[in-house]
Amino acid sequence: MRSYPNTRLRRTRAHAWSRAMVRETVLTPADLIWPLFVTDGQGVEDPVGSLPGVSRWSVDGIAARAKEAVELGIPCIALFPNTQAHLRSEKGDEALNPDNLMCRAIRAVRDACGSDIGILTDVALDPYTTHGQDGLVGDAGYVANDDTVAVLVDQALNQAEAGADIIAPSDMMDGRVKAIRMALEMGGHPNVQIMSYAAKYASAFYGPFRDAVGSGGRLVGDKKTYQMDSANASEALAEVALDIAEGADSVMVKPGLAYLDIIWRVKERFEVPVFAYQVSGEYALIEAGAAAGAGDRDALLMEKLIAFKRAGCSGVLTYHAPVAARLLHG
């Protein structure tokens, strides 16, 4: 058994080179996915008030951000549209438009960057509906599962046809991964990946995101009938198991920091890549805390990102991706 003074655990902490040499967890720009918000227009940068430092970008700006990501070594961007009010409908029909904001942004990124970057696209109806729910709402106000899945399949195919590399269904409908996987296979897109939002919780940390995509003020009711209860852990493992069986190539836990135990359990149980989404509320709290003098912004964000990796993440979706990548480049 180790004992003092034969063992002094501080020995390897005495110098920076030694700390680096024995570091157990390493974060690189390749571990980051950068979420980006798309808006209408040309040459538009529209700051999101509740997300300091984050903007909605017109399609040309998204292409420029994608080039920036390539230069920084960030391997993938995630796209989320802020659909104009007049294009939203009760059934989210704009999600199926092959020339919608999402599809135009996908094509612009592909034209600008070729295959140098991955494009992850969100599949859910909340950016397209007038009621802000992720699916089709029935007469009783309940989001209809199977009818919604049928629309999500068409939405996923629409994005794949535009050039998406990773389809990321965030809706939490039962059975949607299998339906999308089968449609991609039959539709000639066998190499398009599915990153399932397998354990997505009904969280209080999503507010700024909903502002960014324009669904927050529209939301009628809540999403607790399909997003998970924050008190449940075993249920998350059941969700992940189902999505893997249905064809998910990787899975996501959302939000991130408040659910590190879920990330760890998923990583220990399943042999698939696990990702975390450091969501908008988590990002905003770092920025607000730093602005209030509670800590150094860069140190806070890097410590949180390394926590995701330590818990078992293959990667992290974070609005801090370009900041973190620059810090990692030194």
DSSP state of 201: B
DSSP state of 9: T
The answer to whether residues 194 and 159 touch, using CB atoms and an 8 Å cutoff, is no
Give the whole-number percent of the chain exceeding pLDDT 70: 100
pLDDT at 139: 83
Average pLDDT across the chain, whole number: 96
pLDDT at 48: 96
pLDDT at 119: 98
How far is residue 308 from each of residues 167, 212, 260, 318, measured CA to CA in Å? Answer: 22, 24, 7, 11
Helix (H, G, I), strand (E, B), or coil: what is residue 220?
Answer: coil
Measured distance CA(101)–CA(14) in Å, rounded: 53
Query: Does the pLDDT at position 216 exceed 80?
Result: no
Sign of the torsion angle spanned by Cα atoms 63, 170, 81, 297: negative
Candidates 147, 168, 72; CA nearest to 113 is 72
Per DSSP, the residues of 67-104 read HHHHHHT--EEEEEE---GGG-BTT-GGGG-TTSHHHH
pLDDT band, very low/low/confident/very high, at 321 (cuts 50, 70, 90): very high
Instruction: Tell me how far the alpha carbon of residue 163 is from its chain's centroid.
Output: 18
Q: Report phi then psi at 81, rounded to 5.
A: -90, 145
Structure tokens at 31: 């571990």
- Read off the pLDDT of each residue in 107-120 and give the average, rounded to a whole number: 98
Residue type for position 327: L
Structure tokens at 174: 């039962």
Query: Does the pLDDT at position 220 exceed 90?
Result: no
Query: Does the pLDDT at position 330 exceed 90?
Result: no
Measured distance CA(297)–CA(221) in Å, rounded: 35
Candidates 261, 251, 252, 257; CA nearest to 320 is 257
pLDDT band, very low/low/confident/very high, at 191 (cuts 50, 70, 90): very high
pTM exceeds 0.85, yes or no: yes
Q: What tens digit of pLDDT does each residue of 13-39 get?
A: 999 999 999 999 999 999 999 999 999
Measured distance CA(117)–CA(132) in Å, rounded: 30
pLDDT band, very low/low/confident/very high, at 221 (cuts 50, 70, 90): confident
Q: What tens digit of pLDDT does each residue of 45-104 get?
A: 999 999 999 999 999 999 999 999 999 999 999 999 999 999 999 999 999 999 999 999
pLDDT at 217: 81
pLDDT at 196: 98
Give the residue numbers marked as catalytic. 200, 254
Query: Does the pLDDT at position 169 exceed 80?
Result: yes
Measured distance CA(173)–CA(91) in Å, rounded: 16
pLDDT at 180: 98
The answer to whether residues 168 and 197 touch, using CB atoms and an 8 Å cutoff, is yes
Q: What tens digit of pLDDT does each residue of 230-282 get?
A: 999 999 999 999 999 999 999 999 999 999 999 999 999 998 999 999 999 99
pLDDT at 194: 98
